[in-house]
Amino acid sequence: MIAQTIQLALAPVFVLVAIGNIMNLLSTRLGRIVDRSRQLQERHVETEGPEHDEVVREMRAIAQRIHLITRAIFLLVLSGLAIGTTVAVLFLDEVAGFKLPLVAAGFFLVALALMMVALLLFLAETRVAAAQLRIPRGYLELEREL
């Protein structure tokens, strides 16, 4: 019976591994964003006029990206806790004889829902990043034929 419970607990554990990988990705992105924000903070005091406005626009986008990523990480942590609780409930159900399969299923569904919302926040962050990276038309020299 314990072997069967371990097999049953493998699916949530694989989800937990995926959550860890996504959190690693997000924390790496967050680190790069923070580094860029520090560069912009230095440029903020050194610039004026249109260049200053561009720095402020980029800082606002970075602030939005930081907000989205930190919320996504928070939800992924909650999702991981729900996965851990799912596994614990599965073992309590088996070892202690509690009848908690619906509780385990509930925690698992909550974990999946939290992970999905976190992924939506990640999608929103990548959209902000992509919009921020658009090359100004002037640099493309579209009037020239190459």
Kindly report, residue by residue over 97-124, the tens digit of the pLDDT.
888 889 999 999 999 999 999 999 999 9
Helix residue ranges per DSSP H, 1-146 = 2-46, 49-95, 101-132, 137-140
pLDDT tens readout for residues 56-69: 999 999 999 999 99
Question: What is the pLDDT at residue 134?
Answer: 78
Residue-wise pLDDT tens digits, 33-59: 999 999 999 999 999 999 999 999 999
1 has pLDDT over 70: no
Please determine, for residue 32, whether its predicted confidence score (pLDDT) is greater than 90: yes
